[in-house]
Structure 1
Amino acid sequence: MGVCSREEIEAVYRRNFKLVYQVCLVLMKSVSDAEDAAQTVFRRVLERGEVFRDPEHEKAWLIVTARNECRDQLKHWWRRGRADPSALDGLIWEDPREGDVWEQVAALPEKHRLVLFLHYYQGYSTDEIAKMLGENPSTVRSRLVQARKKLKIRLEAEGYGTT
């Protein structure tokens, strides 16, 4: 791998900022904290200074780095209790009702939110998510099943799926 030029780093930023920011927002549930985490991720790209092997390696590295940065920030005592689920309103959804659904997704544990986001909103297969997150594919599939069950219960309690 070669050293990244300024232009290559700028291109990585342009191609991936929205994805990294959305991952951070899904995990942090706070606009300002998601912005901080996303900035830190791209600072790490600068520090890394190497060209990515291919576009999939680039995305996987950024998603995992974003997840790890968010986890680190969420561990700090000053961060606890600052989540604002309404922060997720800034995400752009294909269907206007998806924003309501996403409120229920946001209430799920991180391990479920992340796999739902990567699978349904970013289009990754369970095998791709497993490789990206360093998990067993069956673990990712199991988390998706658990997440869908929990989400179904939450949505039914809110009146979705009833006529």
Structure 2
Amino acid sequence: MNTTSIAGSNKEVDSTTVLTDINIEAIYNRHISTIYKVCYMLLHNPEDAEDAVQTVFMKLMSVHPQFQNTEHEKAWLIVTAQNYCKNILKQSWKRKRVDIERIEEPVSENNSWKKELLQEVFNLKHKYKIVIYLYYYEGYSTKEIGRLLHLNPATVRTRLHIGRKNSK
């Protein structure tokens, strides 16, 4: 059993059950980039994505889940981020809001195709967008995505196929 002493105390606790500030900081540093990308992909706004990331990590600190390994941490954070973003998108004020800065943003010639491709992915329905992101950007297999999202791997493959077809 991996134990650690609590400062000022003779108690020893199993280090896998206690999330310390050091553990939370390490988890944050390991997964901040991925969680931000998931949130940005779903919310299409950097400020909203930053708020969502902050909320996800605040939930981590309040819930104190037990993780088996870093992949389990990452999966928990991705699912939590996805659920939070879906709830934000359901709110009526979010659906009716327009981000003026994004409308007026000029597109340069040399990266316009990248922006067009990214916009195609952004325009997909959530269920296609999340599997495309996890598959292409995070490198998860269809089986792993199925486990993460509680879907049959065949369903994941179907959503990938439809998502690719709809983004062409």
CA distance in 1, matches of 2:61, 2:142: 30
Q: 2:127 aligns with which of 94, 111, 114?
A: 111
CA distance in 1, matches of 2:36, 2:98: 15
Q: Percent identity?
A: 43
Unaligned segments of structure 2, at least 5 residues: 1-15, 106-110
Q: 1:136 aligns with which of 140, 143, 152?
A: 152
Task: Indicate the SS of the match to 2:95.
Answer: coil
Give the C-alpha shift of residue 83 in structure 1: 6.1
CA contact (8 A) 1:27 1:70 kept: yes
Aligned position for 2:37? 22
Give the C-alpha shift of residue 101 in structure 1: 1.2
Letter in 1 for 2:135: H
Aligned position for 2:139? 123
Task: Indicate the SS of the match to 2:93.
Answer: coil
Aligned position for 1:5? 20
CA distance in 2, matches of 1:19, 1:47: 21
Unaligned segments of structure 1, at least 5 residues: 90-95, 153-163
CA contact (8 A) 1:119 1:126 kept: yes
CA distance in 2, matches of 1:52, 1:118: 20
CA distance in 2, matches of 1:120, 1:141: 13
Aligned position for 1:45? 60
CA distance in 1, matches of 2:156, 2:102: 27
Change (3 A) 1:108 1:50: closer
CA distance in 2, matches of 1:135, 1:86: 34
The number of aligned residues is 146
CA distance in 2, matches of 1:86, 1:126: 33
Structure 2 residue 105 is matched with structure 1 residue 76: no
TM-score (norm. length: structure 2): 0.80
CA distance in 1, matches of 2:132, 2:102: 18
